[in-house]
Structure 1
């Protein structure tokens, strides 16, 4: 049957719904809630019409997501030219809904991050509610992450710069916890361009700072990361935000650490520590991160007792903060402490801390840090002479990096596996 004829035979309400769905970010593999959010239909009418259109062959179920329900795709090309004037309105409604959902998920995973300005214009569809569950929040962000690029394309095309910037901002925890750093950097480059088109100073500063967070762990990216952090620091200083400027100085120290310029990192962090006001939540968190960085840098310099002291101080001083608000960084502090113990010849203590870190990362669903911890366990086992355990941990770390597409990490681990296999033969 001719596609246009097939479309014309559908009820007027079905034609209108399909015509609106066709303007959603392509390809539309969306849920009933996505559809209702992007159209002027109520959720109840959308659900009824989608069921009817699926039976009539105009839509097809392409999957089921635990958080989003059934996902559909459009089977009739005629829908795409039915109502071209509706495109801007449909995209605006859809982005409002998606930003609200992503913000709800992101807030559960990173409660310390201050959201960007956003004014929703449509609110007829209740957004996704993670109900305080980190598992649900993570699941929603990961399930919708493949659609982010198309959503940003639509935001750029329709001038929805505020919505696009907010989407990038809200997907930070999913990108930072589960994806290779280069992928996160690519998304935040788009976020920076959207923020600059929007013209919001807070958003521009945030995009520079977060782009630097990803770039500093991309091979060859530390110089560019320092440039972005420096711009963020200058913007904060110009705005009179002294505390934020200190935060960006700490981030520059993190770039030095990532570039293995550990002396520069230690020097910068030692200068920053006295400037923190531990009566404020923001400075307490920054002080905690500075101590983790100091521990990592001193370990790399061979100052293992100093590293252990800083990392223990971090866990003791910020116990409540790390336990209740930032378990990810509790895991990082414990992982680096375990690494320092191992380098200092204290294998049992190393194993205890690294095991605790690994449990935290598994509970949080952070595969990249699970892989890092396995690598640290392998290195500690090797130094202690436990070659079978070393081989097991490093093999698992290499496989975990492979699943994430973290090629630089795989290349770092691979020679140690080769050496062991060669020795065994």
Structure 2
């Protein structure tokens, strides 16, 4: 802002604007530009003063807040040094200063310049405002949060403050929700609230908000189901009932209280914003664009032309392949254009990194990307087809007619892209690859855009954006040397800049000299093999971090998968979790590692290549690290697998080697599924790594742990591939028992893939091996699987024969009673399929008694359904209805919506047979709604029953 005086020479500039941010990483900005704040201890001093802004903090208190109880000798002197440096940093900002008085250090600052204090002021004002104003104020307050408070910093005091602030943030979110609901904005909130409820399952206020939002959106049944799930969780885990407020909300929904219904009122500042898309969620998957992006004006303009210049019309089908060497900035260019043009794609943006050039990870397969896209579009796992053609068809159907942008990053070849291309002329696709992809251009009409290294002026701007133009101008010769070594490669420039920022005391001449010394021993940058040109830059960066961080960096080159969590990283390096977090934060600060999403860490593929090179220099250490990591994955996966399927016979695991940390058991089924969801991208590569390292026990036991998870998530191709490795590994060891087991699990995977012939081959081989071993109980498993396979082929007589043999073998061994019950029920079910209903009842009654003694919910539920089927066909419809209701209750309690819906269909048949058409109609409606939502093929059959039962 410029204010003119009485003459042209009398011009005054406004005071600079300063911002201090602690609701995320601790940062300082002056007029929108980041200001370096030094290393972690110095930023902790600033954080402690900012929390107590304008209030004195005694020196002893400040020292304790920075170091805790273990302050080293000389801490007081270090504290004085940090304060002095911070004073120099703040020197250019008027009215912001650190002073020391008799009561301690005081940071004088405008409270609104500190996001923490601005957050608290806005929250306070919101609580005195009307609902509409409160919603706006609280939204502004919550938008100040950028992640975990004081991210990358750690001390006992900061941990306590962080917990307090998390509570304040949650309270503000709940207040905002209430205000928005009072204003009738339930449709805008319902998806966000449901996601928050998953993260905070014990919060009854949030549960009530979810229920109200669902009810107002016409989803009364889901609202009531949400209440029942919360009530069951409280009863099972705490032995408590919901509080009065939540119970009252439930009662109001049950009686359709008219005061719960309000008319939608859009926010005052966004009255023209589009409402929610009735076809499902609107994905916003674009990662953040680089804040230091510079240049590329010509390329951005070219992309505007290639992707369609008129924002008022939907984009046509157009694929732009952004070519260029690794680290040249393809992704940053794509994301900058995508964010700048996101308004042109109001139906959402999808993003996938296909990892086409990862040195230690196989490229992501199209079917994996399709499943992720379908998940983002609101498709539940049970609805997703098993085959690639089915996934493609469903994906293209869902995006048809939508104005969407799909960004496919780091693509290896055109064959990977083809299944991901939409068929609608309203969608646009942006592809990045190191290859030119001529097939994509010729077969799909892609417009190629070749990307070169940055021009010298742009490279200089990029360095200046990081370390400041004044610092570069002070050492022009050294700056030119840095630019020469980086050769315009943005990744190399960013790494050099990070080193300079993290060490403000080092002059650029020294940094350039280090690069000069390294450059003589390493290859120059080559556009066809850019990874070699980074050795000098990365070696300097690695030498600049602590020895512990440098060792950890090298070991990361051996880790399978696209990223790694703290627990797995701790085992990889044989470090405590706290130390692992410390070295990871150091590597993040040095731009050697990225944290995305929170708690998971990954490296750029070129950086990983360098780390892999370092790991290979010490093969014994690499071998020990790989064994520790595989032990961690195996033991943790086994614990989670037993939660998913508690009646499986547990494995006899090898003892974990020293340093292989195994965290506590997941607390429940949901926690086990969450662990598998997070670690799954690394587990399949871990199996391949175990196979390559000839760790044969890990190579067959890890696939065993994944069987139930892969089945429930529909990862049948991965399951089959993992079991092929397990078969090879057990074949090498000569372990016939586990070779037979691996064949049986492979058959389960192929059966789900509807490859019946291959499944039967594996089952035949498994049965042959078990018979050779004389293992009757294991042979019973195979006979049971053969029964399922025969049933899937529509051959109930053959299925009955296998089920009888399974039962006889279980009874002739020391198998667990529940397995006898499951086999008895199978015999009863197949008898029912063959019309032998009295025999079916006898077998199922015996099965039910055993399942009840074993306290097996699944065993009981499946048997109640079988009994209902037999009674229905015997004309005993009241007994059938009673059995079906027992099964529905049990399936509902277990969250098995698929089985619950099928049983509801059967229940409706029995209700119709008694003449209770209204009850049958309601039951079939519930079944049809669930089956339709799950994409089950029987949905149409149940809909037909529903149509024929319309009640006047």
**TM-score band w.r.t. shorter chain:** 0.7 to 0.9
Normalized against structure 1, the TM-score is what?
A: 0.81
- Any runs of at least 4 consecutive aligned residues in structure 1 with deviations exceeding 6 A, and if so which? 421-424
Which of 203, 212, 218 pairs up with 2:747? Answer: 212
Structure index of larger Rg: 2
Normalized against structure 2, the TM-score is what?
A: 0.39
CA contact (8 A) 2:885 2:907 kept: no
The C-alpha deviation readout for 1:357-380, integer Å capped at 9, x for no partner, is: 344445445xxx421330331244
Match status 1:176 vs 2:711: yes
Say which is worse superposed, 256-265 or 267-276, in terms of deviation: 267-276
Which of 286, 289, 293 pairs up with 2:822? Answer: 289
Secondary structure of 1:63 counterpart = coil
Aligned residues: 402
Match status 1:229 vs 2:229: no
Distance 1:74 1:422, change over 3 A: farther
In 1: Cα distance, 2:893 partner to 2:665 partner? 16
In 2: Cα distance, 1:21 partner to 1:105 partner? 25
| Structure with larger RCO (C-alpha < 8 A, sep 6+) | 1
- Once the two structures are TM-superposed, the CA of residue 74 in structure 1 deviates from its matched residue by 2.3
- Once the two structures are TM-superposed, the CA of residue 208 in structure 1 deviates from its matched residue by 1.3
In 1: Cα distance, 2:677 partner to 2:892 partner? 16
Which of 882, 901, 904 pairs up with 1:377? Answer: 904
CA contact (8 A) 1:339 1:376 kept: no
In 1: Cα distance, 2:885 partner to 2:674 partner? 25
Secondary structure of 1:309 counterpart = helix
Which of 533, 543, 554 pairs up with 1:19? Answer: 554
- Once the two structures are TM-superposed, the CA of residue 113 in structure 1 deviates from its matched residue by 2.9
CA contact (8 A) 1:334 1:354 kept: yes
* Counterpart for residue 332 of structure 1: 862
The C-alpha deviation readout for 1:183-220, integer Å capped at 9, x for no partner, is: 64454334323333444222211111222334445435
* Counterpart for residue 286 of structure 2: none
In 1: Cα distance, 2:940 partner to 2:681 partner? 29
In 2: Cα distance, 1:375 partner to 1:277 partner? 30
Which of 618, 635, 641 pairs up with 1:106? Answer: 641
Distance 1:87 1:131, change over 3 A: closer
* Unaligned runs of at least 5 residues, structure 2: 1-492, 496-533
Secondary structure of 2:597 counterpart = strand
* Counterpart for residue 411 of structure 1: 937
Equivalence map 1:180-259=2 (5 Å): 184-221=719-756, 223-259=757-793
RMSD of aligned alpha carbons:
3.2
The C-alpha deviation readout for 1:224-245, integer Å capped at 9, x for no partner, is: 3333222222212222323433
Distance 1:272 1:418, change over 3 A: closer
Match status 1:72 vs 2:606: no
The C-alpha deviation readout for 1:269-297, integer Å capped at 9, x for no partner, is: 4456455547x651634321221211221
In 2: Cα distance, 1:154 partner to 1:177 partner? 24
Say which is worse superposed, 152-161 or 268-277, in terms of deviation: 268-277
Equivalence map 1:267-306=2 (5 Å): 267-270=801-804, 273=807, 276-277=810-811, 281-282=814-815, 284-306=817-839
In 1: Cα distance, 2:845 partner to 2:717 partner? 32
CA contact (8 A) 2:628 2:660 kept: no
Q: Quick check: which one's helix share is greater? A: 1
Distance 1:328 1:18, change over 3 A: farther
* Counterpart for residue 678 of structure 2: 143
* Counterpart for residue 68 of structure 2: none
Secondary structure of 1:171 counterpart = helix
- Once the two structures are TM-superposed, the CA of residue 108 in structure 1 deviates from its matched residue by 3.6
- Once the two structures are TM-superposed, the CA of residue 116 in structure 1 deviates from its matched residue by 4.1
Secondary structure of 2:596 counterpart = strand
* Counterpart for residue 597 of structure 2: 63
* Counterpart for residue 406 of structure 1: none
* Counterpart for residue 320 of structure 1: 853
